[in-house]
A and B are shown apart, each in its own frame.
Chain A
């Protein structure tokens, strides 16, 4: 057990896997200087410039080369710098990485971890702030992870590197400096498939279920704290991974609370919250005492000026109001 930042947890996860497996290979822009957020600090010194590959600003080549290398026996970790920039490499990810195993009839797997730092952070505006996780959850062949805590980042990143599927691994930029206790695991701890589709209940409660992932988990926890002071105890579920996602954990929780809020930083229209709400409505309607609620971003791009940027933020106050609305409908 050690107190680590979310950033350092990710750095240590990569370090541990690279020490264990010579075929793990990092490629992305500016990795030599530690990556744009310092999440690769010191790795070049330990592993050399071949395995910590500082790439040209060629997102399509970074992603495409990783697909080719994965098919030829490597286990690449792709760094996309900002999730927004991965859009320059959508063919390589969606048409190639996600499809190669299937369309070649299982002749090759594509073990690939694509790190895509996401979300709002320091007035980064429309091209450096997006949360596009729902796009990838829509694509057969991809696994999608969105860690919320330092422990999640450590466990899920090691597990992503180990599994044989392409994983879109979305760290939240706002969380880099968040600290948390990280258990690096006993020698026989299983990093791998079993870590996916396993939600964590961050706080138990019976008043309402709040489902969140990534940075929004912390907003939900803040709301839970406020509500608890008034004697309202909500259950906060940190989904951790969006594909696969822990349907059973959500169903189990609403069986207890009868109320469901899904909140995410991404635009609500076509967002993953819709999938969760629809699944609960289709399969677990009997458990819901109130219509479920989505608290998400409006369908506008993200601005630069803080007051404008705040228009897309779902705040703890809004979550508190949402919980009260479900408890005492107008």
Chain B
């Protein structure tokens, strides 16, 4: 197989993953509209190349910490879409038994140690997970993905400094979609250059077009290989764009007129499709990949909608071992 063929096969695989992430979130948005997903969901539509590219070089035993906008990262790390959808629906069989929902989705079996509802909180946790790896020995790495809003929180300084001071195996990825919740990040961020902040804390950096999935993958591969070999932490600044609002019900009217429309031309999935078409992949094959993703996620939707609610008694489980309150009588 020639190099060109290999790249095409890989790119097609990555596009399939991005299509799955897109289809998962579109199904989740439909479910929210249908009052089946009850809590807030934060779609990553337009940002799928970061998830697919960053997670590509990871092993199952590598660890991943994610954010409230973490469906893509979780799928890319290998979590099961059916269990994830059940979690969003709050049903039995969800990854967290219906206790976490979208913002706390986690799948420890694939090394996904949790999305986090607090912006930036995963940075120190990731540093600690990497510290445990270092203490134990071995060549696992930890990846921590956060948004551009997180760089203005204290844990960015404390966690990156910690990782640099102790030379920990962790890749920090700033998935920069331009908006901190509903405020333009550039309006509230001093200095402007996020890489300069990380460099100042002793963490070497790279920047990448976060909508170019192969570029993200190649950069992540290079950085994670260095980290695996003991080089210490690295910081990847992946520039992307959030094509939808902060949550699925946010129409994002605070954006300048036409801004998002223009960005749809840079949709990472369409970019991958254009490249694949240029490399000779047929329209029928590209459409079949998209259909497969939609079929999978519609099945996940249907499975979740048909699943039972968790047992009410489970509200009392997994609080703590010592001092757990008893299940009330009659439950």
Residue of B at shortest CB range from A164?
A: B321
Stretch at the interface among B42-50, B154-162, B178-186, B239-247: B154-162
Instruction: Tell me whether B321 and A71 are in contact (CB under 8 A).
Output: no
Residues of B within 8 A of A143 (CB): 320, 322-323
- Interface contact tally, CB-CB below 8 A: 164
Q: A50-B135, A96-B121 are in contact. Are A108 and B108 (CB under 8 A)?
A: yes
How many angstroms from the CA of A101 to the CA of B96 in the assembled complex?
Answer: 10
Residues of A within 8 A of B276 (CB): none
Residues of A within 8 A of B118 (CB): 91, 95-96
Stretch at the interface among B18-26, B98-106, B288-296: B98-106
Residues of B within 8 A of A65 (CB): 124-125, 127-128, 131, 159, 162
A interface secondary structure, majority: mixed
Q: A56-B161, A69-B132 are in contact. Are A244 and B322 (CB under 8 A)?
A: yes
How many angstroms from the CA of A105 to the CA of B317 in the assembled complex?
Answer: 8
Q: A8 at the A/B interface (Cβ < 8 Å)? A: no
Q: B210 at the A/B interface (Cβ < 8 Å)? A: no
Residues of A within 8 A of B97 (CB): 105-106
* CB-contact partner of A64 in B125, B132, B322, under 8 A: B125
Instruction: Tell me whether B131 and A104 are in contact (CB under 8 A).
Output: no
* CB-contact partner of B128 in A23, A67, A141, A165, under 8 A: A67
Q: How does the 8 Å CB contact mask read for A44-58 relative to B, with 1 for contact and 0 for none?
A: 000000110101101
From B63, B131, B159, B320, name the one whose CB has the most chain A CB atoms within 10 angstroms. Answer: B320
* CB-contact partner of A58 in B98, B117, B162, under 8 A: B162
Q: A140 at the A/B interface (Cβ < 8 Å)? A: yes
Residues of A within 8 A of B114 (CB): 71, 100, 103-104
Instruction: Report B304 CB to chain A, min CB distance, Å.
Output: 15
Q: B136 at the A/B interface (Cβ < 8 Å)? A: yes
Within 8 A of B (CB), among A190-222: 193, 196-197
How many angstroms from the CA of A66 to the CA of B108 in the assembled complex?
Answer: 17
Q: B224 at the A/B interface (Cβ < 8 Å)? A: no
Q: A61-B161, A103-B96, A104-B106 are in contact. Are A72 and B323 (CB under 8 A)?
A: no
Q: B56 at the A/B interface (Cβ < 8 Å)? A: no
Residues of A within 8 A of B109 (CB): 107
Q: A288 at the A/B interface (Cβ < 8 Å)? A: no
Q: A68 at the A/B interface (Cβ < 8 Å)? A: yes
Instruction: Tell me whether A61 and B99 are in contact (CB under 8 A).
Output: no
Interface size on B, residues (CB 8 A): 50
Q: B165 at the A/B interface (Cβ < 8 Å)? A: yes
From A55, A58, A70, A142, name the one whose CB has the most chain B CB atoms within 10 angstroms. Answer: A58
Residues of A within 8 A of B104 (CB): 103-104
* CB-contact partner of A95 in B107, B121, B128, B136, under 8 A: B121
Instruction: Tell me whether B319 and A72 are in contact (CB under 8 A).
Output: no
Instruction: Report A241 CB to chain B, min CB distance, Å.
Output: 8
Q: How does the 8 Å CB contact mask read for B198-241 relative to A, with 1 for contact and 0 for none?
A: 00000000000000000000000000000000000000000000
Q: A272 at the A/B interface (Cβ < 8 Å)? A: no
Residues of A within 8 A of B107 (CB): 107
Q: A100-B114, A103-B96 are in contact. Are A68 and B318 (CB under 8 A)?
A: no
Instruction: Report B329 CB to chain A, min CB distance, Å.
Output: 15
Residues of B within 8 A of A106 (CB): 97, 317-318
Instruction: Tell me whether B95 and A105 are in contact (CB under 8 A).
Output: yes
Within 8 A of B (CB), among A69-108: 69-74, 76, 91-92, 95-96, 100-108
How many angstroms from the CA of A197 to the CA of B129 in the assembled complex?
Answer: 31
How many angstroms from the CA of A50 to the CA of B133 in the assembled complex?
Answer: 12
* CB-contact partner of A73 in B136, B319, B320, under 8 A: B136
Q: A64-B124, A105-B97 are in contact. Are A69 and B322 (CB under 8 A)?
A: no
Residues of B near any A CB (own CB < 8 A): 63, 65, 94-100, 104, 106-109, 113-114, 116-118, 121, 123-136, 142, 154-155, 158-159, 161-162, 165-166, 317-323
